[in-house]
């Protein structure tokens, strides 16, 4: 029995070596990849296009795909010129029927001297928006050989990129022990470890006696699964109340000073208006003149001066309070402190 098995075993091993390493085998069932275009802009030498096309094909082959080159794609599209340059899912489906491929690659290289910016897109008619993945490589101060190596590596990575299903989520708060909510749903307490799917999410932490704290994060649908780390600091409700009540140091005194200013000015005006009037001497006969007259000029002027001084001080205190207020809260009329299950309102009226 052993001699009969030896031949098939050797043939299988030889086939495995011919196909290449394990990743190529894993990708073999994904079908060929058609190169739609290789666009080169800038001051690249003419021979670079052919070299980059070969490097692109080599990188795709290293990623485990068979390649339909741009020349073959161009030949197939001669009978359907309206499909040239079209990358909608409908067009890709029709192109795929012509070239027998379900995945497509668009390449763009921007050359500026010895700097090359390489952009690759992997497309499919079955992908939402037609784009499966994107890869960019920036090769600065590179030789043509290095630019070709970057193209090959980018093509290989393009096939390995995949949609991100979820990324790790790490949430810490100060103080710790706060409830963590993701999109309004409680998921645990800090320090918290979980996962986030693609899209925009609102992460909040809440703790009794403290105002809630929020952070909006967005997870890209395609890319590396880097963890999302969030550090949130909670502010106590008492600190918010103290901030509102102490942000105007002259909140009461300025009104007292203002009232005193009005009283002093009024008194000064009255005293000046009665200056020189006769004093009631208790006379019985109207024709009899009273030798005494009112002397209120000095007191009236002093009262006016005091009123003017108090008015200046009052105006300064109003301006000072307004400055403190705008520097912290942009002149709010109320502060709402969010709490679990409701909220606490601290109202501060401004006049």
Q: Is residue 6 part of a domain?
A: no
Global pTM reads 0.43
Q: Are residues 155 and 32 in the same domain?
A: yes
Q: Is residue 285 part of a domain?
A: no
Distance in angstroms between the alpha carbons of the first and the last residue of the chain: 104
Q: Is residue 10 part of a domain?
A: no
Question: 286-295: string of b/e by CB count within 10 Å (b at 16+)?
Answer: eeeeeeeeee
Q: Is residue 92 part of a domain?
A: yes
Q: Is residue 4 part of a domain?
A: no
Model confidence over 139-159: pLDDT tens digits?
Answer: 888 888 998 999 999 998 888
Q: Are residues 153 and 23 in the same domain?
A: yes
Phi, psi dihedral angles at 200 (to 5 degrees): -95, 135
Cβ atoms of residues 253 and 314 within 8 Å = no
Q: Are residues 140 and 225 in the same domain?
A: no
Q: Is residue 1 part of a domain?
A: no
Work out how many domains the chain is built from and give that number: 3
Q: What is the pLDDT of residue 72?
A: 92
The CATH number that applies at residue 199 is 2.60.40.1120
Q: Are residues 141 and 84 in the same domain?
A: yes
Q: Are residues 87 and 64 in the same domain?
A: yes
CA neighbours closer than 13 Å in the CB half-sphere of residue 46: 0
Model confidence over 289-325: pLDDT tens digits?
Answer: 566 677 778 887 888 888 888 888 888 888 877 765 5
Q: Are residues 62 and 146 in the same domain?
A: yes
Range of the domain at 321: 242-280+291-347
Q: Are residues 122 and 156 in the same domain?
A: yes
């Amino acid at each position: 029995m052993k001699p009969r098995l030896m031949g098939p075993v050797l043939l299988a091993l030889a086939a495995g070596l011919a196909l290449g390493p394990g990743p190529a085998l894993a990708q073999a069932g994904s079908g060929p990849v058609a190169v739609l275009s290789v666009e080169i802009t800038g001051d690249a030498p003419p021979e670079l296009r052919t070299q980059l096309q070969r490097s692109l094909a080599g990188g795709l082959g290293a990623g485990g795909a068979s390649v339909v080159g741009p020349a073959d794609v161009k030949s197939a599209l001669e009978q359907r010129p309206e499909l040239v340059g079209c990358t909608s899912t409908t067009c890709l489906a029709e192109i795929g029927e012509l070239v027998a491929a379900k995945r497509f690659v668009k390449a763009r290289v921007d050359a500026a001297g010895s700097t090359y910016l390489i952009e690759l897109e992997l497309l499919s008619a079955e992908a939402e928006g037609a784009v499966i993945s994107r890869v960019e490589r920036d090769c600065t101060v590179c030789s043509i050989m290095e630019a070709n190596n970057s193209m090959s590596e980018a093509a290989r990575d393009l096939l390995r990129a995949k949609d991100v299903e979820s990324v790790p989520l790490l949430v810490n708060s100060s103080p710790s022990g706060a409830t963590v909510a993701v999109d309004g749903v409680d998921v645990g307490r800090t320090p918290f470890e979980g996962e986030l799917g693609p899209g925009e999410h609102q992460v909040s932490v809440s703790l009794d006696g403290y105002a809630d704290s929020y952070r909006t994060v967005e997870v890209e649908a395609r890319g590396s699964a880097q963890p999302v780390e969030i550090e949130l600091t909670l502010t106590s409700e008492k600190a918010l109340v103290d901030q509102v009540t102490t942000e105007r140091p002259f909140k009461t005194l300025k009104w007292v000073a203002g009232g005193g200013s009005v009283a002093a000015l009024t008194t000064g005006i009255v005293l000046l208006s009665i200056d020189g009037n006769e004093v009631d001497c208790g006379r019985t006969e109207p024709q009899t003149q009273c030798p005494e007259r009112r002397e209120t000029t000095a007191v009236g002027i002093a009262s006016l001066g005091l009123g003017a001084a108090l008015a200046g001080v009052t105006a300064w205190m109003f301006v000072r309070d307004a400055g403190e207020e705008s520097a912290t809260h942009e002149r709010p009329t109320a502060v709402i402190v969010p709490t679990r299950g409701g909220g606490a309102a601290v109202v501060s009226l401004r006049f």
